[in-house]
Chains A and B, each alone.
Chain A
Amino acid sequence: MTLNWIIDNAARIGELTAWHAALSVVPTVLGLLVAIPLGWWASRSPRIYPLVIGTSGLLYTIPSIALFVLLPKVLGTRILDPLNVVVALTLYSIALLVRVIADGLASVPHDTVQAATAMGYRPWQRLLHVELPVAVPAIGGGLRVAVVSNVSIVTMAALLGIPQLGSLFTQGFSLRLTLPIVVGIVLCLVLSVVLDVLVHAATRALTPWQQKAETA
């Protein structure tokens, strides 16, 4: 019976997993792209820093369900539009990553930054060619947290009927079956681990210049 259910629903489970992965990864990437300039701005001024970090921290405290319901009104989208989920999770990712970027950039050795400035790097050249690459280990750590947290928050979208692994929870609940719930949990876990490992591997690949003792 167990195996049969899984085999019968394999196609749909695969589809849900793919959706889930996309809904977790795309907002993380978008969040990173927005968080970089924000975090840079925050890292450059001791007055801006608490403002940006405070605001983004506040953002994180908004319940996801509230966001999912509110966003269609703000964006003019239909409630079932996956775009709502993408925007909501992007906001959460920004909230998490602004601090990661700001602190990561602040951790770049002062001498290195000063040398680049003195050599005649323009501020954006310095950010792109020196500060961000050197901050990759710190940023990679934050990115792992963000992507894993997104995998878990995405399941909430099931309450709106947007397909992803969370749909297995609602289905199991309404059919009074434990199996779909267990399968959903296991796949969420597997997805988390896979994405975490991928981000970690990418970070390692981008930092061959790190002393081995420090990457451990």
Chain B
Amino acid sequence: MITFEHVSKVYPDGTHAVHDLTFDAPSGRLTVLVGPSGCGKTTSMRMINRLIDPTDGVVSLDGQDTRSVDAIELRRKIGYVIQSAGLFPHRTVVDNVAALPRLLGVGKQQARSRAMELLAKVGLDERFALRYPYQLSGGQQQRVGVARALATDPPFLLMDEPFSAVDPVVRTQLQDSFLQLQRDIGKTIVMVTHDIDEALKLGDQVAVFREGGTLAQVATPSGLLAHPADPFVADFVGASRGYRALGFVEATAPVELADEATVRVGSRPGDAGAVDDGWCVAVDDAHAPLGWVDLRAAGEVVEERHIDFSGTVARADGSLRDLLDAALSSPTGRGLVAGPDGRLRGSVVAAEVLRHVGHGREAEVSS
């Protein structure tokens, strides 16, 4: 656990960057510091590994005051990832990851083979291992940055806007693969971002900072959406809070699914059997849903161009937001639902999801 107790930082030029900060970043959890630019997030994070020393207050790791240990030893227990990756330009990818273990005396072969494992873990193909950083895309560099931070298997990880410098598609990929990784490794993480969506998506706990370096609220993502502490937080969390909050609610009872007729690309419309309104679901060979087909518009044979891909596919164990979105985005008003194996389970209508929203609220109120 990382603990801040009444921590303040005033820079030599008189800037009050952080003011009386008190909160915990629990072990094995991802705590996100979020807030507008210049509100002291980076300063707060850097006080953990003593890149910056607090003016006042105590930062401790697992109960130990960080000032009571050697700064170098402290930093070696804390992985560090920054926005631009900050890779060593003169080292290959694999040697970037192996750098710290090598410095600490691990043999070359051992350090490199461990580095290769880590690169695989962060989702970087091994053919990139011998490239230099300038030969990688921003997203690939960021993966290397994460692998390097994990090289000595430190219990703590600090990340400053790690996914901010890449385009939205790559950002989503990086976020998803990082979430997957964290489920595996369960590090105690403090991550800084200015992006509230990223904070809500990745954080187990979100600390919202406001101008002047004070803490506005610390809560779980769903807690933040449901009960913002004040107008600043409410405003920062943004519009469509109600809808986004559904992203953190799972159905408490089984959602009722309707069966749907299916058809494959290359088959004849008649193969779908009895279809009430002409629409049926196109599935692939693994029975995973692709989209909707209007059989009345398809000719002799169902082709890919007949498929309407506009609807999203929700997972049966997904959030109510995913289910509702599937229903709302579907050309038929019936949202496609797949099982964890990817196979089509059936469809759900918005009214059925909303019925569960009511239950979810009641459950939350009574708990």
Contact = CB atoms under 8 A, between A and B. Distances in A.
B169 interface: no
Contact of B49 (A116, A118, A130): A118
A115 B85 CA distance: 8
Contact of B80 (A109, A119, A129, A133): A119
A117 B89 contact: no
B223 interface: no
B90 A134 contact: yes
B356 interface: no
Contacts of A122: 72
Interface string B83-111: 01111111110000001100100000000
B89 A134 contact: yes
Nearest to A118: B80
B232 interface: no
A125 B100 CA distance: 11
A112 B49 contact: no
B236 interface: no
A115 to B, nearest CB: 3
B132 interface: yes
A19 interface: no
B82 A121 contact: no
Contact of B89 (A112, A114, A119, A120): A112
B82 A120 contact: no
Interface of B: 49, 51, 72-76, 78, 80, 82, 84-92, 99-100, 103, 132-134, 148, 158
Given A109-B86, A114-B51, A134-B89, 9 more contacts: A111-B82, A111-B84, A115-B80, A115-B88, A118-B49, A120-B74, A125-B103, A209-B90, A209-B92
B134 A209 contact: yes
A117 B87 CA distance: 12
Interface string A97-121: 0000000000001011011111111
A129 B92 CA distance: 14
Contacts of B99: 119, 129
A112 B103 contact: no
A118 B51 contact: yes
A120 B91 CA distance: 17
Nearest to B70: A120
20 contacts: A114-B51, A115-B82, A116-B88, A118-B49, A118-B51, A119-B75, A119-B76, A119-B100, A119-B148, A120-B75, A129-B99, A129-B103, A130-B88, A130-B90, A136-B90, A207-B90, A208-B132, A209-B91, A209-B92, A209-B133
Interface in A127-170: 129-130, 133-134, 136
Contacts of A114: 51, 82, 86
Given A114-B82, A115-B82, A120 B100 contact: yes
Contacts of B132: 208-209
* 6 cross-chain pairs, A with B, having the tightest CB-CB distances, nearest first: A115-B86, A111-B86, A120-B76, A120-B75, A118-B80, A209-B132
- State the majority secondary structure of interface residues on B: mixed
A207 B88 CA distance: 12
B128 to A, nearest CB: 14
Interface of A: 109, 111-112, 114-122, 125, 129-130, 133-134, 136, 207-209, 211
A164 B78 CA distance: 58
A91 to B, nearest CB: 31
Contact of B134 (A120, A133, A211): A211
A67 B89 CA distance: 42
Contacts of B148: 119
A57 to B, nearest CB: 30
A145 B232 CA distance: 60
B87 A120 contact: no
A128 to B, nearest CB: 10
Chain A CB within 10 A, most for which of B51, B74, B90, B92: B90
Contacts of A117: 51, 75
Nearest to A110: B86
A109 B103 contact: no
Contacts of B80: 115, 118-119
Given A115-B80, A129-B99, A129-B103, A120 B86 contact: no
B53 to A, nearest CB: 14
A145 B89 CA distance: 25
Contacts of B82: 111, 114-115
A47 B74 CA distance: 30
A134 B86 CA distance: 13
A209 B100 contact: no
Contacts of A116: 88
Contacts of A208: 132
Contacts of B88: 112, 115-116, 130, 134
Given A115-B80, A211-B134, A109 B100 contact: no
